[in-house]
Chains A and B, each alone.
Chain A
Amino acid sequence: MAARPRLAVWKFASCDGCQLSLLDCEDELLQVAGEIEIANFREASSAVVDGPYDLSLVEGSVTTPEDARRIQEVRAQSRRLVTIGACATAGGIQALRNFGDVEEFRRAVYARPEFIATLATSTAIRDHVPVDFELRGCPINKAQLLEVISAYLHHRRPTVPTGSVCAECKRRGAVCVVVAHGAPCLGPVTQSGCGAICPAYRRGCYGCYGPQDTPNTAAWTAHLETLGLAPDAIRRVYRTFNAGAPAFRAAGDAAVPEGG
C-alpha cells in the first residue's frame, strides 16, 4: 500500500475552534485517519511525526515576530498549505488591533509591558507566505473542511461556493430579515458556507465568512443607512471577525465620512 499522505495542523493566534471542527467530524474522523496520516495535530495527539507534510492546515493569524518566523518554517515543510478560518484568512477578530494603538493597549493591559513581544497588526497567513487555498468562516464549516481535505487527497479543486449568504438563505427557505423586518444583515456581501444560520433565526448575518466574490459594499452601505443605521454603527457591522478582509476593511473605512 502506498504511504498515506501526511497531514499537519498548525495553530497561530486563534481560539482553536476551527481545528476542533476537524475533531468534531466524529463520524468521518476514522475515515480521515484511514486515508491520511495525521502526523502533527497537537489538539488531538502529542505524538508528532517530523515533516515534510503533504497537506498543512493552518489556523490563526500572525500577531508576533515569532509567529512571522514560524509560518515561514511551516510553509517550507508543506507541499500544500490551506488556511482555515477567519483568523488565518483575514486576521480574525484580533485584527481590530489594526485600527487601534497596540502600544497603548500593551501599557494599559500588562503590568510588565516590556515582556510582551507583539506586532502592531494581526494579519492573514496569505500576507506572509503563498497559500494554496483559503477556507473561510468563524468557525469553518466541517463539511467544507472534509471537502477540502478530500479534494487535496484526490488532486482536484475543492467545491466551495464563493457567492452570497443570500443564496443559502433562499435555498433553506428562510424569510429575508431585511425585506420582512427591516433588520440589518450582511448576507448580500458575505460569502456563503454557514448555511444562513442567523437569518433562519431571524437575525441578520454577521459576516463570519468574509466578503463574497463580488461584494458591492458601497450599495449595501447606502442601504444600511436607509434602514436607519448611523455611520459608526455601519462601520462596526463591517468590523467584526473579518475586519481585516480587504473588502470589509475598505467598507468600514468608507462608512464614516472623512473626519467623522
Chain B
Amino acid sequence: MIEPGSSWVFPRAEFPSLLAGLERAGYRVVGPTVRDGAIVYGTIRSVGDLPEGWTDRQEAGTYRLAKRDDGALFGYNVGPHSWKKYLFPPREQLFTLRRDGSASFEVTPPPDDEPPLAFLGIRACEIAAMRIQDRVFVGGGTPDAGYARRARSRLVVAVQCGQAGGTCFCVSMGTGPAVRAGYDLSLTELIEPGRHDFLVQVGTPEGAGVLADVPMRPATPADLSAGEARVARAAQSMGRTMDTTGVHEVLLRNLESPVWEDVGRRCLACTNCTLACPTCFCHSTEEVPDLSAERVERWRRWDSCFNLSFSELHNGSVRATVPARYRQWLTHKLATWFDQFGSSGCVGCGRCVTWCPVGIDLTAEVRAIRAADARAVPPEGGPAP
C-alpha cells in the first residue's frame, strides 16, 4: 500500500509516469525549466521541459548556468523565481466595482477557474518560505481569498537538495536541506555509477494518489541511507553561513549603526532583493478606473520597502533615504518578523544575495553589524559607554 510515511524507489526512466499521474489528478504542473540563461519556474508538460543535465553557479550578484555530466533532472539550486509568483501573483485583480445607477455599487470578484497547481521540485527552504507566506496571507484574522484558494488546492512535490549553491545558507536558518514537513511527496535523486533512481517519500494521501500508476518498489535501508548521504553532502557545502544567535537583539540595539550608512551607499534601492525573496509579501493596491469612472478595477501588485513611495504618508516618505530602507528591510526580515509572525522572515535561500545587481550580501551585513556592535558594547561588567 502506498501510504503516508512509506518510501519507494522508481527509476529515472519512469519519471514520465509521475508527470502523467499528476496530470491525471487534474494538476497543472509547474516546475524548473531553462529560459534566458537561468533555471526559472514555468509549466512542465514533459520531462523534456526539466533542466536535465544543467546546474548553476552562484555568487553575490552573479548567476551562470553550467552543464553537468550526470543527466540530473534537479541538479541545480534555487533560481531567480520563487513559488510565491503562483500563490501571490505579481499582479492580481482583486475585484471590479461598477456603479449601478443608484447610490450603491456592484462588486464582481475575479474569475477563479485556474486548475490546482502541483509544485514540482520545490526545495526545503522554499517549503519553509511558503509556510511563512501562508501564515502572512491566511494565518491572520482576514484570510486573503485568492491566496487561500490557491494554497488549499496545491500539491507539493518536493526535491531534497543533493548540493548547495554558492549563496545558500538554509542550514544556518534551520530550514533545510532535508525536507521534513509540508510536502505531499518528497523526492531524492539518487545518482551513482550505474544508477539513476528517485527515492520518493509519501507525505499525504493526495501524494500517494498520484503514485498509483508509477512502477516502483519499496525503498530498502540502503536506498534511504543513500538519500541521507546526498542531503548530508548538501548540508556540508553551504556557500554562506549566518550566525543567528541573538540576532533580534543585536539588530534592534544597532538602529544607529554606521553599517546602515555604508550599505546605503552601495544599495541601489532597486527592489530586486525583495521581489526575488520568497517570503517578502509587500504590495500596493491601486484602483484602475475607466475614463467615465463608472467602472473601477482594484489591482494588487508586488511592491517593496525599498521604494520611496512605499512609506509615503500625507507629508512625504517616512523612509526617504536608502540606509533607512535597507535597515527597514533587514530588521524586519531577521528581527521584527519574529514579533509579528513568530518566526524569522529569512529561510536562507540566498536569492537576495545572488540577484542583487551589486551583490549586497545580508550575511556579510549582519557580520558587519555584529563587529560594530562588539566594538561599541563594552564587555559585561565594563564601564557604560
Q: Tell whether A and B belong to one assembly.
A: yes
Binding site for B on A (CB under 8 A): 28, 31-32, 34-35, 146-147, 149-150, 153-154, 159, 161-164, 166-167, 170-176, 178-182, 185, 187-189, 202, 212-214, 216, 218-220, 223
User: Is A31 touching B276 in the complex (CB atoms < 8 A)?
Assistant: no
Could you say which of B268, B288, B290, B357 contacts A176, with CB atoms under 8 Å apart? B357
Min C-beta distance of A222 to chain B, whole Å? 8
User: Is B276 touching A161 in the complex (CB atoms < 8 A)?
Assistant: no
User: Is B322 touching A216 in the complex (CB atoms < 8 A)?
Assistant: yes
Q: Is B292 an interface residue (CB 8 A)?
A: yes
**Interface magnitude class on chain B:** 35 or more
In the assembly, what is the distance between CA of A171 and CA of B299, in Å? 14
By a CB distance below 8 angstroms, the chain A residues around B64 are: 180
For the residues of A in contact with B, the DSSP-based class is helix
Instruction: Name the residue of chain A whose CB is nearest to the CB of B42.
Output: A173
Instruction: Name the residue of chain B whose CB is nearest to the CB of A171.
Output: B90
| Segment at the A interface, from B33-41, B68-76, B125-133, B201-209 | B33-41
- Supposing A31-B292, A150-B289, A189-B268 touch, asked if A163 and B90 sit within 8 A by C-beta, the answer is no
Could you say which of A150, A185, A218, A219 contacts B290, with CB atoms under 8 Å apart? A150
- Supposing A28-B291, A171-B90 touch, asked if A163 and B272 sit within 8 A by C-beta, the answer is no
User: Is B40 touching A163 in the complex (CB atoms < 8 A)?
Assistant: no
User: Is A216 touching B40 in the complex (CB atoms < 8 A)?
Assistant: no
Q: Is B61 an interface residue (CB 8 A)?
A: yes
| 12 residue pairs A–B, Cβ–Cβ below 8 Å | A28-B291, A31-B290, A154-B293, A161-B309, A163-B308, A164-B268, A167-B271, A171-B275, A175-B40, A176-B272, A187-B270, A214-B308
Instruction: Name the residue of chain B whose CB is nearest to the CB of A213.
Output: B308
By a CB distance below 8 angstroms, the chain B residues around A187 are: 270
By a CB distance below 8 angstroms, the chain B residues around A172 are: 90
Interface centre among A163, A172, A181, A187 (most CB of B within 10 A): A163
User: Is B36 touching A180 in the complex (CB atoms < 8 A)?
Assistant: yes
Instruction: Name the residue of chain A whose CB is nearest to the CB of B284.
Output: A161
- Supposing A171-B275, A180-B63, A188-B270 touch, asked if A213 and B309 sit within 8 A by C-beta, the answer is yes
Q: Is B238 an interface residue (CB 8 A)?
A: no
- Supposing A175-B80, A179-B63 touch, asked if A170 and B291 sit within 8 A by C-beta, the answer is no
In the assembly, what is the distance between CA of A185 and CA of B357, in Å? 10
Q: Is B301 an interface residue (CB 8 A)?
A: yes
In the assembly, what is the distance between CA of A175 and CA of B35, in Å? 8
Instruction: Name the residue of chain B whose CB is nearest to the CB of A190.
Output: B270
- Supposing A179-B63, A216-B322 touch, asked if A35 and B358 sit within 8 A by C-beta, the answer is no
- Supposing A35-B292, A171-B301, A175-B36 touch, asked if A166 and B272 sit within 8 A by C-beta, the answer is yes
User: Is A35 touching B354 in the complex (CB atoms < 8 A)?
Assistant: no
Could you say which of B37, B270, B289 contacts A164, with CB atoms under 8 Å apart? B270
